[in-house]
Amino acid sequence: MKTLIYGAGPIGRWLALRLARTATDVTLLARNETYRSLAEDGIEIVDGLTGERHSARVDLVEQLESDDRYDLIVVAMQKASRLAVCPTLARNEHLKNILFLGNDVSGFHRYLDHVPAETVLLGFPIAGGGWSDGELVFMDREKPGGPHGELYLGELDGANRARTKEIAALFANAGIKVGVERNMDGWLKYHFAFMAPTTGAVFEKDGDLRAVAEDPELIHRYCLACREAGNVLRKVGYKRRQPPVFNLFYWLPRWLEPKVFGKLFRSRSAEVRVGLHAPGIGPELLEMAEEFAGLKAKARLETPTLDSLLARVRRSAGLRRQEAFA
């Protein structure tokens, strides 16, 4: 399956590296200085678990031409950027399958203003990281020998078609565990219900995850914020909590919350996936929070704890903008 990874951020590089190692026909789209750097040095990723360095060279392009032919285009970019490239995708005359990979709350309908519904799939990778001292540090497994990350994907109508299985097999052959979801739109909304409080708690401690782990009251607020967001989703019709681990926020006794989630925030996985990723996620998160406000209005539910954590994200994002222009 000839594959184009559209976007050379951490997720795009990780996917391109994994696919290249299985001799998949994979091309990575990058631009400007990123293109030049990758052309010179290739992809280089530091394993956040073991410290090992992984590298690969893949074919590079700077743009998608209207007559380019790919069996699969994986758009691995932040939400606003994914929507921004839709007109470029629409100009390609040979679209077959487009996997939009990343956070979303608004749903998939805006993609359909540009590209045919039959080409679109949604997905999300359970892996992540960011830049540390100029190096891309990435966490895609919990222990050595485990699968290299996990990727959820699904069709818009929840079907499991021949192409769904083929795309799932592409990633599985690269050592990535794949879950095919019946309602990927709902899955992404529940991911926001987890991610927004998580990021807010981290911002409240100025990025110090260990400080979050050692503050029982903050962890109680964090769990309550997740439940508030989950209640909104359930009220507007997303009754299946996804993935099932989200049920912990409801089933876990309050006295156990600091112990269980304190361990989560102390983990190396959180240090890399959340700690390195959180500083750059503010604008995307706040855009999704505005969209989530529409679901709250529909549900007629208030989320005071979630709102307080998101307010901390807003303040931090505002400070970073001021520093950038200082």
CA 30 to CA 188: how far, in whole Å?
26
Distance CA 263, CA 323 (A): 33
Residues 217-255: pLDDT tens digits? 999 999 999 999 999 999 999 999 999 999 999 999 999
The pLDDT value given to residue 315: 86
Q: Looking at residue 140, what is its pLDDT?
A: 86
Residue 145 has pLDDT above 90, yes or no: no
The model's pLDDT over 294-319, given as tens digits with 9 standing for 90+, comes to 999 999 999 999 999 999 988 876 64
Q: How confident is the model at residue 77 (pLDDT cuts 50, 70, 90)?
A: very high
Segments in 174-279 forming alpha helices (H): 184-204, 209-213, 216-235, 248-251, 257-266, 268-273
pLDDT band for 149, please (50, 70, 90 cuts).
confident
pLDDT at residue 40 is higher than 50: yes
| Res. 325 pLDDT band, cuts 50 70 90 | very low
Confidence (pLDDT) at 275? 83
The residues near 312 (Cβ < 8 Å, ≥ 6 apart) are 200, 203, 204
Task: Identify which of 144, 124, 103 has the alpha carbon closest to the alpha carbon of residue 268.
Answer: 144
What is the tens place of the pLDDT at every residue in 78-130? Answer: 988 999 999 999 999 899 999 999 999 998 999 999 999 999 999 999 888 88
* Backbone Cα Rg of the chain: 19
Q: How confident is the model at residue 321 (pLDDT cuts 50, 70, 90)?
A: very low
What is the structure's pLDDT at 318? 62
Q: Which residue has the higher pLDDT, 319 or 28?
A: 28
pLDDT band at 274 (very low <50, low <70, confident <90, very high): confident
Amino acid 304: pLDDT: 97
What is the predicted pLDDT for the residue at 262? 96
Select from 3.30.1490.20, 2.60.40.10, 3.40.50.720, 3.40.190.80 the CATH code of 3-182: 3.40.50.720
Question: What average pLDDT does the segment 2-31 reach?
Answer: 94
Domain boundaries, the chain: 3-182, 186-325
Half-sphere exposure for 108 (CA within 13 Å, toward CB): 25
Give the per-residue pLDDT at 148.
Answer: 75
**Is the model's pLDDT at 185 over the cut of 60?**
yes
